[in-house]
Amino acid sequence: MNEHTLSRRLERVAAQVPAGARLADIGSDHGYLPVALVRRGVLTAAVAGEVAETPFRAAERSVRENGLERLIKVRLASGLAAIEPNDGITAISLCGMGGETIRDILDAGKARLTGLERLILQPNGGEQPLRQWLMDNGYRIFHEELLHENRFYYEIIVAERSTPVAYTPEQLYFGPLNLQARSPVFLAKWQRLLRLKQRTLAGFERALRGGPEDRLRALELQVGWISALLK
């Protein structure tokens, strides 16, 4: 993967970035996403934010080697602190991090959100707490996607601020649009997870008998939901 050829995962993320957007890619690593999208003429400007020095330098290098310093600002900052008011950001991508990390970044940076930005999120796990944050903060999920690449399942969640939405616990767990679409890759992911959770549950039940009740109950509830889903 590089700024010319994105991974299939980042290509699917890229497809959710509107033409003419001003994108803040937070946790940009090498900056491949903003560089590729500016090169393709999709973005009018971008910010690549990185909290760690080594990926920050790598993003600076990608931008410099492509001669895009005027259009892409690379900033060493944590989360949404990379965004400045006159950047005029219209889309924010947070990809390749845990869902809880993405949630914490959004929550800590709330003051920097105008509410007009499209959020393009690609969590690695922790989708449920992330969807919960979106619902609690007035975002509607209008696109969800799941893909299988290099033995991993990746979720993409795209949301925009809207009138309040109320998702059920199952919708927060599986994704409201994933649940509707029931794509083959979605069902395959949950078949795999059901097997893993059933195995954990059996181990728990054997070993515990009076152990951490909450985890056991949560696991039983999830196994129930997944079994109902796959019926």
Characterise 20 by phi-psi region: left (phi > 0), alpha (psi -120 to 50), beta (else).
Answer: left
Q: Which member of 3, 29, 145, 155 binds ligand SAM (CB under 6 A)?
A: 29
Q: DSSP secondary-structure letter at 210?
A: S
Q: Tell the smallest beta-carbon distance from residue 148 to ligand SAM (Å).
A: 16
| Positive or negative: CA dihedral 79, 80, 81, 83 | positive
Q: Tell the smallest beta-carbon distance from residue 27 to ligand SAM (Å).
A: 3
Q: Which member of 17, 23, 47, 50 binds ligand SAM (CB under 6 A)?
A: 50
Residue 52 as a binder of ligand SAM (CB under 6 A): the answer is yes
Residue 55 as a binder of ligand SAM (CB under 6 A): the answer is yes
Name the β-bridge partners of 156.
145
Residue 34 as a binder of ligand SAM (CB under 6 A): the answer is no
Identify residues 77-136 at the interface with ligand SAM (CB under 6 A). 78-79, 95-97, 101, 105
Distance CA 3, CA 38 (A): 10
List of residues 6+ apart from 219 with CB closer than 8 A? 197, 200, 201, 204
Give me 62's structure tokens: 């990608």
Q: Which member of 27, 99, 109, 175 binds ligand SAM (CB under 6 A)?
A: 27
Nearest to 106 by CA among 74, 83, 73, 124: 83
Q: Tell the smallest beta-carbon distance from residue 90 to ligand SAM (Å).
A: 18
In the complex with ligand SAM, which residue's Cβ is closer, 46 or 226?
46
Q: List residues near ligand SAM by CB under 6 A.
A: 10, 26-29, 49-52, 55, 78-79, 95-97, 101, 105
